[in-house]
Structure 1
Amino acid sequence: MPDLKTVRAQKGPVTYLLRTFVIVYLFALVIWPVSELVKLTFAPTEPGEAGGLGAFLDRLQDPAMTYAFGLTVTCAFWAVLINLVFGLGISLLLVRYEFPGRRLLSVLVDLPMSVSPVVVGLALVLAYSSGSGWFGESLEGLGIFIIGSTPGMIMATAFVSLPLVIREIIPVLEEIGTDAEVAAHSLGANAWQTFRRITLPSIKWAIAYGVVLSLARSLGEFGAVKIVSPGAQFRGETATLLIQRQYTNYAESSAYAAAFVLVLAAILALVVVTFIRRPEDRT
C-alpha cells in the first residue's frame, strides 16, 4: 500500500487543476490586493512628486500617525501580556483539572472567535459605561475609567485575541501528558518547581507561537476598539482607526502608508511563526 508521500508525489490532471485553482484564488484574494496597496504606498501623492521610500517615511512622521501607532503598540503589548498570563492559566485548568463547567469554559474560550468584534465592544460598553453599565459608576467612583480610555481599548483587544494563546497551548499540554509531572511530584518537587522545570520547557514554543499570533491579531484589531474608543485624533485613535479616518477624508496616501506598516507586521509575524514551529509541524 503506497504511503502518504507517494500519493502526494503522484501528478495528474486533478492535481494541476487544484494547483491552478488555489493559485488563482490566492492571487485574486491576497496577492493582487496587497500588491496594489504596496504600489499605492510608494506612489507620489501629487503629479510631479517624487514618491518612493522617502515619501513613505515622511508620511510615517506625521504626528497623528506616530500617536496612533504608539497607542496601538501599547494596547497590543498589554493585551498580549494579559492573554499570556490568563491564557496559560486557563489552558492548564482545562487540560490538567476536572471540574463542573469545564466544557462550558472551553466553549466560552472560543466565543471571541465566533462573535463579531463589534458585539464585543458593545458588550463592554454595556458592562462598563458610566451611564448604563453594571460596574461603570462604581469604577469611576474609584477613579478608574474604562470606556473611552486606554484600559477599555486594552480589554477589547485582549478579549478578541485571547483564544489564540489558549488554542496553541492546549494541544501541546495534551500531547506531553502528565507522566513527567507525576514523576517530578513523586521525587519531592512542589507545584511551582514542576511547572518551571517540566511543564514550561515543554510548552515554550507553543507559548511563543500563541503570543506572536495574538500580537498580530491585536495590532490589527478594529471593530471592538472602535466601539470603546473615543476615536478622535490624538485621543484614542489607533492605527486601524487612523486608516479609516484618513481614507474617508480622502487622505489616501497616509492611509496606505499606515496599512502597509500593518501588513509588514503581519508578514513578520508569519515569518516568526514559521521559524518557531517544531520541525514536525512544518511538513
Structure 2
Amino acid sequence: MVKVSAPTRWALRLLAIGYVFFLVAWPVAMVVQQTFADGLVTLSETLSDPQVTYALRLTAMVSFWAVLINLVFGVTISLLLVRYEFPGKRVLSALIDVPLSVSPVVVGLAILLVYNGRDGWIGRPVEEAGWQIVFDTPAMVMATCFVALPLVIREVVPVLHEIGDDQEQAARSLGANARQTFLRITLPSIKWAVVYGVVLSLARSLGEFGAVKIVSGNITGRTQTATLVVEAKYQNFAQETAYATSFMLIFASIVSLVVVAILRPQHQD
C-alpha cells in the first residue's frame, strides 16, 4: 500500500467530492429546485397533463419488459460464460460490452434498418403478417433491452466466479437436478448481484432517449416516452413541465437504489 501524506489525502478527497458535486449533485439539485420553485404546483400540473401521464405509463411498461427480458437472458448468459467452455466464449463476452461503447442513436438506426416494414430484413414479412415492430412498442423494448444488456451480466459474472461451483457439484452428486441446483444453491448465492443488476437496468431503461427516439417515431400519445416528453416540453417553452418530468425519472431511479441499499444485509458489504 502506498503511503501518502495527510494533505495529499485531503486534496484527493476534495477533488473526488468536487468532481461528483459539479458533475452529478449540482445539476440534479437544480432540476429539483426548478421543479419545486412553486411548491407542489408544477408537479401537480405535470401529473394532470395527459401527454405526460401517458408517457410515464409507456415508459414504465417498456422498462418493465426490458428489465424482465434482460433478467432472464442476463442470468442465463452469466451462467453460460462462467460455468461452461465453448468455442466463441471470448467473442460473446466481448459482444456483451458493445452497448456500453456504441451510441444509442446508432443502435436505434440499426434496429430501424433491420426491422422496418419497407425494406428491413425482418420487418417486411412481419408486417405482412399483421405485426408492426418499428414505430411501436416492440422496437422500443428491443432498443431498451440492447442499451441495458450488460448491466445484469456484469453484476452476476464476478459473483459466480467468486462462489465457485463446489456446492453445485455437491448438490448434483446428491441427486439434485439442474433446476433444483439453480433454485436452491446458485440463485440464493447470486441474488443480491441479480437485484443490483435489475436496479441498474431499470434506471438505465427509464432514462433511455436516443435509441428509443429513433425506433419509436416520437408520436405524441402513442410512442412518446417520458424522456421524449422532456425534450418536447423543453423545446416548446414548457420548461417547468420538463423539469418536473425529469425529477420523476430521477426520483424513481434514486428510490430503487435506496430501497436496495436498505434491504441489503450488512454482511453483504
Q: TM-score, normalised by structure 1?
A: 0.90
1:60 deviation in Å?
Answer: 1.5
The Cα offsets for residues 142-194 of structure 1, whole Å up to 9 and x where unpaired, read as: 22211000010001001110110111111111111111111111111111111
Q: 1:117: which partner in 2?
A: 104
For 2:202 and 2:80, how far apart are their aligned partners in 1?
Answer: 23
1:207 deviation in Å?
Answer: 0.8
Q: 1:146: which partner in 2?
A: 133
Q: TM-score, normalised by structure 2?
A: 0.95
For 2:88 and 2:182, how far apart are their aligned partners in 1?
Answer: 24
1:276 deviation in Å?
Answer: 5.0
CA contact (8 A) 1:205 1:277 kept: yes
Moved more, 30-39 or 144-153: 30-39
For 1:54 and 1:248, how far apart are their aligned partners in 2?
Answer: 21
2:25 to 19, 31, 47: 31
1:172 to 159, 184, 196: 159
CA contact (8 A) 2:148 2:204 kept: yes
For 2:34 and 2:256, how far apart are their aligned partners in 1?
Answer: 23
Q: 2:42: which partner in 1?
A: 55
Q: 1:214: which partner in 2?
A: 201
For 1:41 and 1:70, how far apart are their aligned partners in 2?
Answer: 20
For 1:133 and 1:276, how far apart are their aligned partners in 2?
Answer: 46
Q: 1:46: which partner in 2?
A: none
Q: 1:74: which partner in 2?
A: 61
1:36 deviation in Å?
Answer: 1.5
1:250 to 226, 237, 248: 237
For 1:66 and 1:210, how far apart are their aligned partners in 2?
Answer: 27
1:95 aligns with 2:51: no
Identity of matched residues, %: 58
Q: 2:255: which partner in 1?
A: 268
Helix, strand or coil for the counterpart of 1:143? coil
1:198 deviation in Å?
Answer: 0.9
Q: 5+ residue gaps in structure 2?
A: none
Q: For residue 33 of structure 1, what is the amino acid of its counterpart?
A: P
**Alpha carbons of structure 1 residues 204 and 281: separation in structure 2 relative to 1, 3 Å:** closer
For 1:133 and 1:278, how far apart are their aligned partners in 2?
Answer: 49
Helix, strand or coil for the counterpart of 2:40? helix
Q: 2:171: which partner in 1?
A: 184
Q: CA RMSD in A?
A: 1.7
The Cα offsets for residues 94-141 of structure 1, whole Å up to 9 and x where unpaired, read as: 111100001100011111111111111011011101122110111112
For 1:209 and 1:130, how far apart are their aligned partners in 2?
Answer: 37
CA contact (8 A) 1:212 1:272 kept: no
Q: 1:155: which partner in 2?
A: 142
For 2:16 and 2:138, how far apart are their aligned partners in 1?
Answer: 42
For 2:93 and 2:79, how far apart are their aligned partners in 1?
Answer: 12
Helix, strand or coil for the counterpart of 1:37? helix
Q: For residue 229 of structure 1, what is the amino acid of its counterpart?
A: S
**Count of equivalent residues:** 269
Helix, strand or coil for the counterpart of 2:224? coil
Instruction: State the structure with more CA Rg.
Output: 1
CA contact (8 A) 1:209 1:276 kept: no
For 1:195 and 1:137, how far apart are their aligned partners in 2?
Answer: 40
For 1:122 and 1:100, how far apart are their aligned partners in 2?
Answer: 30
For 1:209 and 1:23, how far apart are their aligned partners in 2?
Answer: 24
For 2:141 and 2:69, how far apart are their aligned partners in 1?
Answer: 9
Q: 1:202: which partner in 2?
A: 189
Moved more, 182-191 or 67-76: 182-191
For 1:112 and 1:260, how far apart are their aligned partners in 2?
Answer: 26
Runs ≥4 residues deviating over 4 A: none
Q: 1:259: which partner in 2?
A: 246
2:10 to 3, 8, 16: 16
